Structure 1
């Protein structure tokens, strides 16, 4: 029994020492627009595309898409970032391992999430948060009623912290690009619940 175990462990070591690829690198040509998450890195690690002031892609517009400001074309194209496909993949579009991908962005107009939340916590009874976000009527109402007797202040702290209430102009908060942003999912006529059947 002991000799059989030694033989099997030696055979395992021998199999692990044999190179599987024989020094040949395999590459596959693929349409990179159909790659799934994890098969590419977007944007390219060498590509700097975040605007430090807005924490969104450079050139982000109100339509929540980014425009290419450096384009010489009359028609403004969507902002495309350079992406890097996984090792061993060659894109049919570019004949190398890079490709371009359109990305969405959140248009910001300078309203800081941290500032609005701190104003809501400490000066919300005077309506400072609503004045800051561009709701002067609600700010004046909170100022004259001491934040709806502190109940309105408490509600606004929760609404701003969960990012349900945002700036009045429809923009998003300025917060770190990889920060704790919330995407609110809504239901409409084009969304429906798929029935779940018991197995």
Structure 2
């Protein structure tokens, strides 16, 4: 029974990708709170084929709104089951990628091979640090090794506060949330408990 429900939900989630543009969302916080996991499903975010990043990612909050649908044979707020009409939207984390597309692989390669000359920092948009690394030969090799680790672990990113350009299922790192909250992003929800 559970396998059959899973297969139905999986099939519906794949079929909703084509219907996402025509979806009319009814944001209903009461309905969202009354449904339990398994009684609704949310569509996967739409991925841009050029930048390999999630489309419509909010730069300020780092989230994207995805439509959520009631599972078959579940009515919500008096709405009967309808596979093309979402009943609420849910925020999912995403990484905003700028049009410049700072390539993660290129940044790591520049840091490894030319980091002593500061080329990695020039590429990421930090010209002052790049010039200091150039004049001191990578802060006497210690700064070169430290910068390589910081760029490899994605602690240092592009100067415009966007994400790296990399394949969607590539090596990019995301924050691990503790108790469902991120201490660096303020949560703003219109639903109150």
State the aligned residue count.
145
- Counterpart in 1 of 2:87? 99
Q: Distance in 1 between matches of 2:123 and 2:52?
A: 20
Structure 1 equivalent of residue 124 of structure 2: 133
Unaligned runs of at least 5 residues, structure 1: 1-29, 67-78, 191-199
| Secondary structure class of the residue paired with 1:49 | coil
Q: Indicate the residue corresponding to 1:153 in structure 2.
A: 144
Q: TM-score, normalised by structure 2?
A: 0.60
Structure with the bigger percentage of strand: 1
Over 3 Å counting, the alpha-carbon distance change for 1:187 and 1:50 in structure 2 is: closer
1:26 aligns with none
1:183 correspondence with 2:175:
yes
SS in 1 for 2:113: helix
Cα shift at 1:129: 0.8
**Alignment of structure 1 residues 78-93 onto 2, 5 Å:** 80-92=65-77
CA separation in 1, counterparts of 2:96 and 2:117? 28
Q: Deviations over 1:130-163 (max 9, x none)?
A: 0011000111111122212221111011111111
For 1:114 and 1:38, locate their aligned partners in 2 and report how far apart those are by CA, in whole Å: 38
Matched with 1:116 is 107
Q: Are the equivalent residues in 2 in contact too, given 1:50–1:58 (CA < 8 A)?
A: yes
The alpha-carbon deviation at position 174 of structure 1 amounts to: 2.1
Where structure 2 has 5 or more consecutive residues not aligned to the other structure, the ranges are 1-29, 187-193
SS at match of 1:157: helix
Larger gyration radius, structure 1 or structure 2: 1
Residues 65, 52 of structure 1: alpha-carbon distance in 2 compared, 3 angstrom cutoff:
same
User: Judging changes above 3 Å, is the alpha-carbon distance between structure 1 residues 35 and 130 closer, same or farther for their aligned structure 2 residues?
Assistant: farther
8 A contact 1:108–1:174 mirrored in 2: yes
CA RMSD, aligned part only?
A: 3.2
Partner residue, 1:31: 31
Q: Could you give the per-residue CA deviations for residues 3-40 of structure 1, whole angstroms, max 9, x where no partner exists?
A: xxxxxxxxxxxxxxxxxxxxxxxxxxx93455566654
What CA distance in whole angstroms lies between the structure 1 residues aligned with 2:102 and 2:160? Answer: 10
Q: Is 1:43 paired with 2:32?
A: no
| 1:175/1:181 contact within 8 Å kept | no
